[in-house]
Structure 1
Amino acid sequence: MADDKLQDDALVQGIMRDQARMEAERMPWESVWREIDERVNPLGAGAFTGGKTPGSVRGAANYDVTAVEGLDRFAAAMAAITIPRNTQYIRLKFGDADLDKLPNVRRWCAQTADRLHAMRYAPHAGFQVQGDEDFRQLGTYGTGALWTGERPGLGLFYKTIHLSEIWIDEDFSGRVDTVHRKYELTARQCAQQFGEDALTGRMRDALRPGGNPDAKFEILHVVRPNREIEREALDWRRLPVASIHVAIADKVVLRRKGFHSMPISVSRHVTGPGDKYGQSPAMKVLPSIRTLNTVAHTLLRAAHKIVDPALAFYDDDGISSIITRPGGITPGLVNERGQTLMARVPGPEGSDLPIGLEMMEGERRVVRTAFLEDFFKILTDPSDRMTATQVIEMIGKQGVLVAPYAGRYETEKQNPVTQRDLELAMLRGQVEPLPEEAREAGAWPQTEYENPLTRMARAERAAGLARWIEAMAPLAQVDDGAVFDHIDTDEAAPGLADVLGVDPRWVATPDKVAAKRQAREDAKAATAGVEQLQGAASAYADLAKANQISEAA
């Protein structure tokens, strides 16, 4: 039987009341999410209706796939600017500036950040795949949940939880601090996850010989702030985040645990006043998506009528059927004079396919903009015919476009996930302990990110430098370039490389720059010495020749 020590009827009743309230709050959103599933993300269609038959065609009612393709680009754009795999974008620092200056602390921050990045992108962790799924949920529903956990013997793993399983609640500041997850497990899976001793009577019956180990049971997992922390306890009661698994049908607690940090991080794309769940790009342009499908359907029907029009007969007497395939023979279709007894029905009067196509293109632009299609212009525009200033300004514009969404993702998702990674890594000894100086100060590291988004934020300054140089070019013709002495090239060159996303390994360090300059000066000195020797030798030869001429005279 389930562990009697875990049972608390009042706790379970309170959890079920909270679940009922949260389900009522989420219900108005679900009809919109179902439509968006069908129109934007057919792969997920059916999640809010209990699923569809395996192998069934999804999205068959769509006549335009602009939004479907846009979702892929949105996920790719957000991933590229916030969590680029090929860039070590995690930075750790302490809030105390004096502490950050200590060499030992700086070394720990750099090494630990590198280790966290390597752990996150280990093949078994699955962060790349699950991160993409998370962004797809943000683009579809406006709300995404990512679970960070551990596998015994392997380490970190990540899993995106579909919104159909998630209900959320906020704290006083609007941050998501409570997550309810309702999902199904078979009796066999329940035994694997919770252990046979924790199972309910019905679960145990299903596992007995002659039972049905594949019988499914609904489980409710509640993760919320621990409301009664006991600092002296040695178990879950002393931890700030409580985790409770409840068998819904039996109203039995299967497991109680605790966490140092939130294991399920929830982010929203955009929220409106009073909204707990986010608004997605798909929801923003849903009217345009509907219009596109309606117009596309109408144009398809009109084009079909024009290409394959209806047939008209004066009298179908004796004509049993019409053979319209190439080479087909239809008897009785002509009279004795060879005149055809059939005519094509003219196309719809006033039909104008170009106008319909123009309408569709206008709506497509709206949808593509919402799904960050403009972000990809920097990849497709002919940059080889753009000046450096134009390239930098383009980067800055893309940053303005995506910064509000990416910034919120960083606050609600990246920071909690990174802090969770750090805590698990430290608990398992996968990174070095905090430096002694940090422990004495009672400090905990903060997280920053050095990704394409932060570079985009700095692009405006780089664009200002490029415009400044271009503006000074006419002045340089007057004073032989002396005006450029105002530019600190040693600071500007690395800054431009950073904004343009140049691989840091390709940028010379200050020591290497100094060595190159010294080598250049040495080469110049050596060249000058050779020229002086050549000049002296030439002068000596001229003098000797003059002496020979004088002696001959």
Structure 2
Amino acid sequence: MANTLLADDTAQDPSADKPAQSGGNAKPIKTRKELHLQRWYALKSERSSWIREWKEISEVLLPRAGRFFVEDRNRGNRRNQKIFDSTATKSLRVLGAGLMAGATSPARPWIALKTPYRELNKKQAVKVWCAEVTKLILDVFNRSNVYRSLHSMYEEIGAFGTAVSIIMQDFNDVIRMYPLTAGEYAISTNDKGEVDTLYREFQLTVAQLVKKFGYENCSENARRMYDSGNLDVWRTVLHIIEPNEDRDPSKSDARNMAWTSTYLELGGSSDSQQTSNQATTGGDNATLSVSGFKKFRVVAPRWATFGGDIYGSGPASDALGDIRQLQHEQLRKGQAIDKMTNPPLQAPTSLKNHDFDGLPGGLSYVDSATPQGGIRTLYDVNLRLDYLLQDIQDVRQRIKSAFYEDLFLMLANNVNSNMTATEVAELHEEKMLMLGPVIERLHDELLKPLVDAAFDILAEAGLLPPPPPDLQGMTLQVEFISILAQAMKQIGTNSIDKFVMALGGIATMQINAGQQPTVMDNFDTDGWYETYADAQGVDPAINVDPDERDQARAARAKAQQQAQQQAQMQQAAETAKTAAQAPTQGGASNVLSDVMSNLTGYTQ
């Protein structure tokens, strides 16, 4: 995790509108503005095959999500006409809340910074510093809009398979995220399949445009509107973040960052609608600002990708057929109930201009003299609602399963009150195997870049505590200790638990047989502690410094050795005393007097 300098996003580049370099050919040289617009239309064309499915998902799942026309903003008109059963929407809410609580809960730590080296991570100074920085990053996330943005991204990725957010430096909150919705952006990937390009089309009012980019950088048309007081007229803006292929690595100004960040005001002329030729060639579009980033400050997680797909496919795509069927069945059920309770009628023509009372207890006069007289139903509707309800319930269950509702509400929906802890653990393990690949992708494409951006911004602002000498020149890596990450690690700890229990059983058998528990010679208790604490995400503050632990053990062993030596010396003294007082020669003398008697001749 390296420190990154984030350029000012409003730094104007005077060379933004200069023609791009050509290869010496005679073809007209296009300006950067024209190249940007050319690529924008190419990316929109590439994205067009996904729009139809996104629109349908939006209609039956998230009516307020999705912006498929640039004018689709701040529209309060009703959009849920195609939703007759909200099961899918509720299941998506459960998925979003489950990922939020399980992967990035604001109420508990979900990341831990470490070095790639196991022995270095054992040093207490390194542990404490990493823990302090981790708490600082989480505190920044709590103070900013990060968690609100992550929740909306989880719902977005569950619905459309792809979620995108821009990460920006903020003066008040340190970091701020700008989540986007399907239809308002287009992305592209590099040769490794990693998202490295974002084009976003959105709208700002004239007042917002002037405040954000400055009066002098706006188009002539926008300036005239501002001067005349038309502050709430919407203007279309194109934001571009892409690799800077023309950069000079030896420079660090706006034009030579690894990624460029460019804002264009589209339709800068007095005409509200540009011609297609103007839009393609750049026309009167104004360059609002050009700046850059040293790292790609866009997170674009995808639920799952196949082949060379740029955009992802999520649970809503898998469940779309079931969602259609559920809405269709609910619609037909309502129509059938209406026809059974208020059926269509047929009556003789003689009643055409007569009053007819169809309410309960109503009275209508008809001429029944003819065989065709009277009023009767046009046709009979005999729908078996019990069969239909059974099928609806089956479809609902399939939708809930597609959105992993059974995983996140596993214990709440469990009717077996006698389930043991072992059964719960095994059930968790089974479910986590299903969600594991998604969590890994979220870690790689969303959470690691987010933590990396926060670390870089804090380092640039000088808000990080000074690192210990052991960390000089060392890289850091992010380890996830969220509930879902730990649940995945629990798959490994379950096997450790079983092993320890079996080992303890063998040791007990040896002790009961009067033998030494030699099987324990194969067990490293310190290794078990470190592995288990790491898997459980234990706060290093409660761990003892390994050096202090070893010193305490050495002192304890020394004290035990001294105590043992003292006991041996005391025992030897007692033995000598007892032997000296032991009677000999029928009790007339003792051992000590006999020894002295034998040595008498040597004293002369």
Partners of 1:3 and 1:197 within 8 A in 2: no
1:367 equivalent among 375, 381, 399: 399
Larger radius of gyration: 2
Query: Residue 36 and residue 90 in structure 1: after superposition, are their counterparts in 2 closer, same or farther (change >3 A)?
Result: same
Q: Distance in 1 between matches of 2:286 and 2:156?
A: 32
Q: Distance in 2 between matches of 1:177 and 1:224?
A: 6
TM-score by length of 2: 0.73
Q: Distance in 2 between matches of 1:368 and 1:432?
A: 46
Q: One-letter code of the match for 2:55? A: R
Mapped pair 1:13 → 2:34: yes
Between 363-372 and 459-468, the greater mean CA deviation after superposition = 459-468
Aligned to 2:82: 61
Aligned to 2:316: 282
Q: One-letter code of the match for 2:433? A: V
1:395 equivalent among 396, 420, 428: 428
2:330 equivalent among 287, 292, 296: 296
Q: Give 1:265 shift.
A: 0.9
1:311-351 residue CA offsets vs partner (Å, 9 max, x unmatched) = 45578649823323345x42425979xxx9545567335x3
2:251 equivalent among 225, 233, 252: 233
Between 10-19 and 302-311, the greater mean CA deviation after superposition = 302-311
Query: Residue 45 and residue 201 in structure 1: after superposition, are their counterparts in 2 closer, same or farther (change >3 A)?
Result: closer
Q: Distance in 2 between matches of 1:3 and 1:508?
A: 52
Partners of 1:368 and 1:374 within 8 A in 2: yes
1:413 equivalent among 442, 446, 449: 446
Task: Mark the runs of 5 or more structure 2 residues left unpaired by the alignment.
Answer: 1-11, 20-30, 268-283, 550-555, 557-604
1:69-127 residue CA offsets vs partner (Å, 9 max, x unmatched) = 111111112212211111111111223445544444333211111100111011xx122
Aligned to 1:532: none
Partners of 2:406 and 2:413 within 8 A in 1: no
Q: Give 1:3 shift.
A: 7.1
Partners of 1:95 and 1:446 within 8 A in 2: yes
Q: One-letter code of the match for 1:59? A: N
Q: Distance in 2 between matches of 1:212 and 1:282?
A: 42
Aligned to 1:22: 43
Query: Residue 387 and residue 345 in structure 1: after superposition, are their counterparts in 2 closer, same or farther (change >3 A)?
Result: same
Q: One-letter code of the match for 1:112? A: V
Mapped pair 1:137 → 2:168: no
Q: Distance in 1 between matches of 2:152 and 2:333?
A: 34
Query: Residue 470 and residue 299 in structure 1: after superposition, are their counterparts in 2 closer, same or farther (change >3 A)?
Result: farther
Partners of 1:302 and 1:348 within 8 A in 2: yes
| CA RMSD, Structure 1 to Structure 2 (Å) | 3.8
1:253 equivalent among 287, 308, 327: 287
Mapped pair 1:83 → 2:120: no
Task: Mark the runs of 5 or more structure 1 residues left unpaired by the alignment.
Answer: 519-553
Partners of 1:84 and 1:451 within 8 A in 2: yes
Aligned to 1:378: 411
| Greater fraction of residues in helix | 1
Partners of 1:90 and 1:114 within 8 A in 2: no
Q: Distance in 2 between matches of 1:58 and 1:291?
A: 19
Q: Give 1:412 shift.
A: 0.5
Mapped pair 1:451 → 2:472: no
Q: One-letter code of the match for 1:369? A: S
Q: Distance in 1 between matches of 2:453 and 2:442?
A: 16
1 or 2 for the larger relative contact order (CA 8 Å, sep ≥6)?
Answer: 2
Q: Give 1:404 shift.
A: 1.2
Q: Distance in 2 between matches of 1:462 and 1:100?
A: 20
Number of equivalent positions: 501
1:92-103 correspondence runs (5 A): 92-97=113-118, 99-103=120-124
Q: Distance in 1 between matches of 2:113 and 2:503?
A: 40
Between 192-201 and 136-145, the greater mean CA deviation after superposition = 192-201
Q: Give 1:194 shift.
A: 1.1
Q: One-letter code of the match for 2:266? A: I
2:93 equivalent among 72, 79, 86: 72
Q: Give 1:309 shift.
A: 3.1
Partners of 1:186 and 1:215 within 8 A in 2: yes
Query: Residue 26 and residue 45 in structure 1: after superposition, are their counterparts in 2 closer, same or farther (change >3 A)?
Result: closer
2:237 equivalent among 208, 219, 229: 219
Q: One-letter code of the match for 1:444? A: T
Partner SS for 1:107:
helix
Q: Distance in 1 between matches of 2:486 and 2:264?
A: 46
Partners of 1:39 and 1:289 within 8 A in 2: yes
Query: Residue 322 and residue 392 in structure 1: after superposition, are their counterparts in 2 closer, same or farther (change >3 A)?
Result: same
Q: One-letter code of the match for 1:362? A: D
Mapped pair 1:271 → 2:305: yes
Partners of 1:138 and 1:280 within 8 A in 2: yes
1:429-508 correspondence runs (5 A): 429-439=462-472, 441=473, 443-464=474-495
Q: Distance in 2 between matches of 1:128 and 1:467?
A: 37
Partner SS for 1:257:
strand
TM-score by length of 1: 0.80
Aligned to 2:390: 358
1:323 equivalent among 357, 364, 385: 357
Q: Distance in 2 between matches of 1:285 and 1:65?
A: 14
Aligned to 1:542: none
Query: Residue 201 and residue 335 in structure 1: after superposition, are their counterparts in 2 closer, same or farther (change >3 A)?
Result: closer
Query: Residue 331 and residue 71 in structure 1: after superposition, are their counterparts in 2 closer, same or farther (change >3 A)?
Result: same
Q: One-letter code of the match for 1:197? A: E
Q: Distance in 2 between matches of 1:494 and 1:446?
A: 18
1:207-266 residue CA offsets vs partner (Å, 9 max, x unmatched) = 11x252222222111112222333443422443222111223333322111223222211
Q: Give 1:149 shift.
A: 1.8
Between 50-59 and 409-418, the greater mean CA deviation after superposition = 50-59
Aligned to 1:524: none
1:482-523 residue CA offsets vs partner (Å, 9 max, x unmatched) = 99x879898889988998x8x969x98689xx9xxx9xxxxx
Q: Give 1:57 shift.
A: 1.9
Q: Distance in 1 between matches of 2:252 and 2:13?
A: 18
Partners of 1:99 and 1:105 within 8 A in 2: yes
Q: Give 1:48 shift.
A: 4.7
Q: One-letter code of the match for 1:176? A: V
Q: Distance in 1 between matches of 2:70 and 2:398?
A: 29
Query: Residue 171 and residue 353 in structure 1: after superposition, are their counterparts in 2 closer, same or farther (change >3 A)?
Result: same
1:442-476 residue CA offsets vs partner (Å, 9 max, x unmatched) = x3322121111222112334444666789899999
Partners of 1:121 and 1:128 within 8 A in 2: yes
Aligned to 1:193: 212
